[in-house]
Structure 1
Amino acid sequence: MIHKLAEVQAENIGQNTSVWQFSIVLKNAVIGDHCNINCHVFIENDVIIGDRVTIKPGVQIWDGLRISNDVFIGPNVTFVNDKLPRSKQYPDQFLQTQIQEKASIGANATILGGLNIGKYAMVGAGSVVTKDIPDRALVVGNPSRLIGWLSENGTQMKKIKDFKFEDNQGQIWIEQNQSLSKA
């Protein structure tokens, strides 16, 4: 369903995806099945959005974003795709940001470019994300900081002292006293 007041140039939009009024989707964007693109959303060309993704109002999905299946993006989330933005000066390639499956990003969060937000991770409302977020991490604040770990159903796991794990890029992380560092 594409609302009559939406401007959708893209032809690669999956089945049962809704694009609501006053949204703009540029020609080369790819959007999966069963997505809900709320009103006042802008989606650029070099964007890939998986299946069953919800994007709430007031979000701009800039070139370089890769959003996996079952992701939730809250209202007015801000993505950055250029570390040195200047008027009328464009990089050869925009930063690529990966949002892994079943991640959730709360309202008004800001996500800097070139980062990876892991599977099942949750970014709290208003957070400013300046570093990669590992799988299942719960982060809040400015800059965002780790405050816990989540199970697959989104509930917070019990704290484990000196928790060690490997993220989806093979990097070993250690959490000690709510602080996260690379091993």
Structure 2
Amino acid sequence: MNIRTETPPCAVHPLAVVDEGAAVGEGTRIWHFSHVYGGAVIGAHCSLGQNVMVASGVTIGDHCKIQNNVSLYEGVVLEEYVFCGPSMVFTNVRTPRCLHPRNTSADYAPTRVKRGASIGANATVVCGVTLHEGAFVAAGAVVTRDVPPYAMVAGVPARVVGHMCERGERLRFDAAGLARTSYGQAYRRRADGIVRKEEA
């Protein structure tokens, strides 16, 4: 493995490419055939699997895990602790055309994935949406609208099928709108979404 000497240090496989002008945080690992463009920002202690593309203008927070065959296009922002499953897809143009290309920053619809969200294998996230904190997208789902905090979505198009805590346990709410995990964390259902109880 080729250890880059820039500050902070990160580990880049010899068959990966990190362009000049990219910022990669300490402890991040970038594996075979991946390409990080100049102008991309990747936080500390992330893992990028094989054949990952990170375009200019993408921001990836600390402790994210991006599995094989994922492309992150300009306008995508991942906050901390985001998981992107193998071969999931982000888009960045709502109505792509070859005859009349839309290839400037003004043409792109931004996508934000908030802290602790997970996106399953082969899911598609259509641009212009926000996946809120702790959201969980099932494998193969197609996300066309915002996903609420701690919501589990599945299907085509993706719809809410339940709720999940930050550790991956399904949340089951009582009549008072409270759910408690096996490790004692409580969540509350409110009109504006699901919150951890200490935030309520």
Please, what TM-score do these two structures have when normalized by structure 2?
A: 0.80
Deviations 1:12-70 (A, max 9, x none): 10000001010011000000000000010111001000000000000000000000000
- Once the 2 structures are TM-superposed, how far is the Cα of residue 165 of structure 1 from its aligned partner? 3.0
Deviation at 1:86, TM superposition (A): 1.3
Where in structure 1 do 4 or more consecutive aligned residues deviate above 6 Å? none
**Alignment-mate amino acid for residue 155 of structure 1:** E
* Length, aligned pairs only: 168
Aligned pair 1:49/2:75, yes or no?
Answer: no
Correspondence list, 1:142-153, <5 A:
142-153=156-167
Aligned counterparts of 1:45 and 1:54: Cα–Cα separation in 2: 19
- CA-based RMSD: 1.7
Q: Which residue of 2 aligns with 1:128?
A: 142
2:101 corresponds to: 89
The 10-residue stretch of structure 1 (56-65 or 81-90) with the greater mean CA deviation from structure 2: 81-90
- Aligned equivalent of 2:132, options 118, 122, 133: 118
Partner of 2:151: 137
Query: Structure 2: which 5+ runs fail to align?
Result: 1-10, 178-188, 195-200
Q: TM-score, normalised by structure 1?
A: 0.87
Cα 1:69–1:117 change in 2 (3 A) is same
Q: 2:87: which partner in 1?
A: 76
Within-5 A mapping of 1:31-70: 31-70=42-81
Structure 1's unaligned 5+ residue stretches are 169-183
Q: Is the 8 A contact 2:22 2:37 kept in 1?
A: no
Q: What residue in structure 2 maps to residue 174 of structure 1?
A: none
Q: Per-residue deviation at 1:160?
A: 5.0
- In structure 2, the residue corresponding to 1:89 is in which secondary structure? coil
Q: Conserved in 2, the CA contact under 8 Å of 1:6 and 1:20?
A: yes
Specify the code of the residue in structure 1 equivalent to 2:112.
Answer: Q
Amino acid in structure 1 at the alignment position of 2:121: A
Note the alpha carbon deviations across 1:103-145, whole angstroms, 9 max, x for none. Answer: 0000000000010001011000000001100000001111111
Asked which structure has the greater CA Rg, the reply is: 2
